[in-house]
Structure 1
């Protein structure tokens, strides 16, 4: 705040215009009387002119007026000086008061400037904090949105898991019931196994005896053991060619069942040699279309019964496998692909006995 300038008015007291005129007129009369007195002292007065001169009483009155006028003038001067003194004192007092107030205002202005500066810094800091809070609010809003989405996903998953848990509880109850049934069945099977142990042992003895009789037949009270039982031909393994009558021909599954009943399975070829052996045993004649072997299509691939894939596609005339097809072997023609439901003769194979 700029320092204010104080202008002090000058006070000048002037006597009244009327009073000045009266004093001036009295002084004029006084001068005329003095002139007349001097003329009287020099010139004798006649009776005729004596009538027109002022008397002593009039002179005293004039002097009285003059003194009165002087007193009034002096009084006016004193009054004017008093008024001037009072005005000067009043103006000085006002100036001192204004100077004190001005100093106080300067101090207040300095304080207010410092406060304003601090408030400005605080306002700037608050503005910066407000911007940071806005940015943080934006980040928190985005995080809140993401968390809400994650929560919704988790809530759905919890709902699904709750449903699955309820289903699993139901299945668990079913499994408990099935377990109880299986425990009861196991108990029954255990009892049956215990009951069948003696007959099974007897059956094993019977099968062992049968194997001895099959591989080591008695001749003239002597036994001679062979690598293959009677009716089987030895070619690194034992082969049995089933030349049944046409009315007794079987499907692929039926033929395999017959071989397994003889403790064997449909013939499989591990190498070229065995493939040739199987082909040589697949005799050919008018009514015969071929012999079932242990080769069929599984999952779009040719597979042997021992789980091996057919790696040499030249062994079969139809390399493109079709589900539901099995292989037959025919002498001089190799392997062919036909429907597994057809009925044909078959060849069984099992390991040879080491003697």
Structure 2
């Protein structure tokens, strides 16, 4: 062939990429001027292109591998993150349930302790209240006892003073009687014998009471129904009784009261008979120092300066001790 001849060669370059469905294979035509050189260059060019294409494909393949590896690692990390999230929410939940159960158990124990402590507190409060009440009651009882003892002590002091006064009066009375007895010893002895043992037909008949006195139980009574001009105040009547070795009558029981009342005779000249009861210190008192025990025997309240009279067909009456009345004397009867 001549040098000027031009040869045409066709080179087909295949790529490892997937062929596109819409394009046809491309054909590249190169103009070759020299037969030998041109062919050689064409071959070198094809090899270089083929080599470059292989390197590019390998590089892309490695890039895809790295991308897939990263994607796998990312998936693993995502799975681990999901597992961690589940573990984060699941395990604490179980732990919270256990703690809740433990708290409920502790709460139950605390409630039981509170209930026991409440009952113990109630019991202790009740015992304390009972002890305080008992202590208060004992204190009040001691106060009342002390008050009663003080009252009794005052009464004993008053009685002692009155007894001392009575003793003084009795001592003075005894001294007066002894003096009178010594002065009239002989005549009094004769008078006493005649009073208790009067002579009748040269024979003495003795009795428990003097002549003119009425005997009842263990006492003798003289009902002095004096005329109005001879009637006496309470103190005068008592002095008269003392002169007869007696005193104004003291009534001990209902039987004696009835006897005194039945013998307190009524007439136009006598309004009452003095007995040995008068008001002292706001109380009715007998001449022997004792208190009137039966308040129903006289309805009037005791007023100092008032004395009591007895009379048939009426109850005892309070009158001024300075008023003049008849009187009743009493002394012990003799044993005959």
Residues 230-262 of structure 1, C-alpha deviations (whole Å, 9 max, x = no match): 5534466422234388477122x6645654673
Aligned-partner Cα distance in 2 for 1:68–1:273? 173
What is the TM-score normalised by the length of structure 2?
0.50
Match of 1:28 in 2: 28
Contact 1:297 1:321 in 2 (8 A): no
Contact 1:278 1:329 in 2 (8 A): no
1:205-284 alignment, distance < 5 Å: 216-217=193-194, 225-229=206-210, 232-234=213-215, 237-242=219-224, 243=226, 246=229, 249-251=232-234, 255-256=237-238, 259=241, 262-266=245-249, 268=251, 270=255, 274-275=259-260, 277-280=262-265, 284=267
SS in 1 for 2:255: coil
Q: Which runs of 5+ in 2 are unaligned?
A: 1-15, 19-24, 154-163, 165-170
Please list every run of 5 or more consecutive structure 1 residues that lacks an aligned counterpart in the other structure.
Answer: 1-12, 16-22, 34-52, 176-188, 190-195, 314-318
Alpha carbons of structure 1 residues 214 and 234: separation in structure 2 relative to 1, 3 Å: farther
Give the C-alpha shift of residue 28 in structure 1.
1.8
> After superposition, what is the alpha-carbon deviation per residue over 1:190-224, rounded to whole angstroms, capped at 9, x for unaligned?
xxxxxx9xx99xx8xx99x9998775458899986
Q: Distance between the aligned counterparts of 2:315 and 2:92, measured in 1?
A: 113
Equivalent position of 1:78 in the other structure: 58
The Cα of 1:76 is off from its aligned counterpart by: 0.7
- Structure 1 residue 58: Cα displacement: 3.8
Match of 1:291 among 261, 267, 273: 273
C-alpha distance in structure 1 between counterparts of 2:325 and 2:220, whole Å? 21
**C-alpha RMSD over aligned residues:** 5.9
Q: Report Cα offsets for 1:41-66 as digits up to 9, x if no partner.
A: xxxxxxxxxxxx73333443333222
2:34 matched residue in structure 1:
55
1:321 matched to 2:300? yes
CA distance in 2, matches of 1:63, 1:257: 189
- Contact preservation (8 Å) 1:235, 1:277: no
Question: 1:228: Cα distance to partner?
Answer: 1.3
